[in-house]
Amino acid sequence: MPQPIPRKPPLYTVTADTLVAVDLNPRTAGEPGPYRRLFTVPGTRAFTAGNLLARLPMGMFSVSAVVMIAGTRGSYALAGAVTATGLAATAVVAPWTARLVDRYGQARIAVPATLFAALGSLALLLCVRHGAPAWTLFACYAATATTPNLGGMSRARWAHLLKGDPKALHTANSFEQAVDELCFMLGPVLAAFLCGSFFPEAGTLAGVLLLVTGMLLFAAQRSTEPPVGKRSRVKATVLFRAPGMPSLLAVCLAMGVVFGSMEVVTIAYADARGHPSAAGVVLALQAAGSCAAGLLYGSTKAGPAADRYPWCIAAMTALLTLPLLAATLTGSLLVLAGALLVAGMATAPTMVTGMTLVQERTPEGRINEGMTLAVTGLLGGIAAGSAVGGRLAELSSAAAGFGVPVAAAAVALMIALALVGSSNRFT
């Protein structure tokens, strides 16, 4: 008589409060795929739905603001300056908001912070519509910097729920990166459609509605919220000096230069060829390549993140030469679009692995702040990359500007290789 197959213990026990265990043994669960397994954990579908709704406006607000301000005031320079001010304010405020989230909990801090940011967006809308002085636009848009790091909070929940399972956490981080790409791919398209089809303020109004509704739904899922634990002994002002963090933040800064310069240079390239409206579609293809690669990457077996990181950056550096070659050798926007689609496939794996390392290196009780510092590094790099890429495209050519992302990725690779060669990798 055959012996019964012994059942393994449950893979996940969510929290003591929920008293729910989920058996994810493939032999007893019909061997579900890695992403399907993620969402069998109680509460994950609910908080993911709310977070997705709240994150979509992140790709809408800047485009909506530019269309709204430029359409009313007739100045793209003013619109660009206002959005740049908001970016700078976010880089300063976001780590403080994340620190409060870690200290007092997601629901207690994220909801009021989101409502304050929503009021800033609505105030901007009213100031633009009623012809308020230009300085009020800067003040209102700067107020939106209190918007919490929605992706970071979602990743923090996964890290809490999947603690002790690196493989599942790798899949979750890959899913979150794919969501980032999807939101920044669909957000600008939705914003442009709303502003163009209805009225200039429509994109901002829709973004505020989605942000507030999504945040309230996300915060309501208290069973999956990471508990407020014991604070780390690392001083609040020196988290960026925690072991491994300085090098990771330096790589994030270089990655930001890649993204910022690529966006500006692609727009300039499309404009130079008489197809400025095609830039959004071309950039969306790059995001689509990253999204697809991120989902595939999450379904593969993953070794230690520190070992994978240099290889991911090396692949990204190599693939970024494709847009440069396409722009300089062919002069075809169609060929460039194909090159960006392929080049984008290295983005998500690199970002997923980097965020995994940030999670591993962040002291206990500081995970939201740690990931927000990484995002802040990206924002700083995006601002610098936009400036450098735009300047080179203006002084030389848009095609030459595609060399900036390659150079920035090469710098990130040198940092990673130098750290791998040391005895304390990423420490």
To which residue do tokens 């442009």 refer? 192
191 or 341: whose pLDDT is higher?
A: 341
Residue 53 has pLDDT above 80, yes or no: yes
Cα 307 off chain centre by = 22
Phi, psi dihedrals of residue 25, rounded to the nearest 5°: -65, 115
DSSP 11: S
The reply to whether the predicted model has a pTM over 0.85 is no
Over the stretch 163-192, which tens digit does the pLDDT of each residue have? 878 888 888 888 888 888 788 778 877 887
Average the pLDDT over 239-255 and give the result: 81
Over the stretch 272-297, which tens digit does the pLDDT of each residue have? 888 766 777 888 888 888 888 888 88
Residue 417 neighbours by CB under 8 Å, 6+ apart: 310
To which residue do tokens 């990655």 refer? 255
**Domains assigned to the chain:** 36-229 (1.20.1250.20), 233-427 (1.20.1250.20)
Distance CA 221, CA 169 (A): 20
Q: How many CB atoms lie within 10 A of CB 125?
A: 20
152 or 3: whose pLDDT is higher?
A: 152
Distance CA 13, CA 96 (A): 31
Which range has the worst mean pLDDT, 189-193, 232-236, 343-347, 383-387?
232-236
The pair of structure tokens assigned to 353 is: 């692995």
pLDDT tier for residue 137 given thresholds of 50, 70 and 90: very high
Phi, psi dihedrals of residue 141, rounded to the nearest 5°: -70, -30
Report the percentage of the chain scoring pLDDT > 90: 28
Q: What is the structure's pLDDT at 32?
A: 64
Average the pLDDT over 347-370 and give the result: 82
